[in-house]
Amino acid sequence: MGIKVLFFGSVTDITQVGELSWDYCADTNILMKGLLGRFPALANKKYFLALNQQIIHENCQLKQGDTVAIMPPYSGG
Amino acid sequence: MSSKKQHRIFFQGPIPAQKIADDIQKHAAKTNIGAHSIFLGQVRADELNGEKVVAIEYTAYELMVEEKMAVIREQFFEKYALTCMHIYHSLGRVAVGEICLFVFTSSAHRRDAIDACSEMVETIKKELPIWGKEICTNQSTVWKQNN
């Protein structure tokens, strides 16, 4: 099942896709390290992470089938 | 009253003025209401690097917005004596001059409707994972930033 990774807003200018499947990894730090390896320009970007639609502020354990979203600051309204 | 109901807030494209009129009319039957407050967000023709904005294209993390809105609605119905609250936000392309956000609160007395409406607009901008991309006359694009 792995991890479902979602990208939004200006982050998609870097990734060119809105969604991808990532091999399972133990926590969000490992996931981000992998994503930064694949998309180095993310390092210069301000973004937040959401794990299963909840904003997270620190490293979190992952389980198979989790969804992690990489989101730049909001600009609705 | 309607605080427990799941409400989808997204509206594909601009919100027509007719919908706003129709929604007001629908409340005529709710005779315990004494006050409505309405906020309408309209796409502005900003100028970016010498190019005029012609539209904003909205995208969102829809599932997260729905989950967050359910919690926010509960909080608002606890904080304010509201009879009802309706919120619509556009997705997709909305041209300059068109309506992209419609917040409609109703209560027995004016203060609750006015305060809830005003706080909800700020909450939407701050808390909901929605993004706007400004599209200019020369087709260049700039991701919108909220102040």
Say what the pLDDT of residue B145 is.
86
Question: Could you give the percent of chain A with pLDDT greater than 70?
Answer: 100
Task: Inform me whether the pLDDT recorded for A58 exceeds 70.
Answer: yes
The set of residues, in sequence order, having a beta carbon less than 8 Å from that of A71 and lying 6+ positions away, is A8, A9, A11, A47, A48, A49, A50, B61, B129
Say what the pLDDT of residue B147 is.
75
Rounded CA-CA distance B100/B96 in Å is: 10
Rounded CA-CA distance B145/B142 in Å is: 9
The distance from CA B117 to its chain's CA centroid, rounded to whole angstroms, is: 10
- Compare all CA atoms of chain B with the CA of A71 and give the residue at the minimum distance: B129
In a domain, B147, yes or no: no
Contact B9, B69 (CB under 8 A): yes
In a domain, B37, yes or no: yes
DSSP state of A9: T
**Helices (DSSP H) in B27-138: which residue ranges?**
62-79, 110-127
Q: Is A50 on the interface with B (CB under 8 A)?
A: yes
Rounded CA-CA distance B75/A48 in Å is: 24
In a domain, B75, yes or no: yes
* A72 contacts B125? CB cut-off 8 A: no
Say what the pLDDT of residue B146 is.
85
Of B6, B5, B7, residue with least CA distance to B89: B7
Say what the pLDDT of residue B6 is.
60
In a domain, B48, yes or no: no
Which of these ranges, A30-34, B20-24, B45-49, B75-79, has the smallest mean pLDDT?
A: B45-49
Say what the pLDDT of residue B8 is.
85
**Chain A nearest C-alpha distance from B128 (Å):** 7
In a domain, B94, yes or no: yes
**Chain B nearest C-alpha distance from A28 (Å):** 18
Say what the pLDDT of residue B2 is.
44
**Helices (DSSP H) in chain A: which residue ranges?**
11-15, 28-38
Q: How far is CA B115 from CA B37, B86, B105, B109, in A?
A: 9, 15, 9, 11
Q: Mean pLDDT for chain A?
A: 97
Q: How far is CA B76 from CA A11, B8, B71, B86, B119, in A?
A: 32, 16, 9, 12, 9
Task: Inform me whether the pLDDT recorded for A32 exceeds 80.
Answer: yes
Task: Inform me whether the pLDDT recorded for A41 exceeds 50.
Answer: yes
In a domain, B55, yes or no: no
In a domain, B3, yes or no: no
Query: Of A6, A73, A77, which is closest to B61 when you measure between CB atoms?
Result: A6
Task: Say how many domains are in chain B.
Answer: 1
In CATH, what number is assigned to the domain containing residue B77?
3.90.1170.40
| Per-residue pLDDT tens over the stretch B66-119 | 999 999 999 999 999 999 999 999 999 999 999 999 999 999 999 999 999 999
Label residue B133 by pLDDT band (50, 70, 90). very high
Q: 3-state class of A8 per DSSP?
A: coil
Say what the pLDDT of residue B1 is.
42
In a domain, B5, yes or no: no
Q: 3-state class of A4 per DSSP?
A: strand
Residue B100's domain comprises: 10-42+62-129
Say what the pLDDT of residue B78 is.
98
Say what the pLDDT of residue B116 is.
98
Label residue B3 by pLDDT band (50, 70, 90). very low
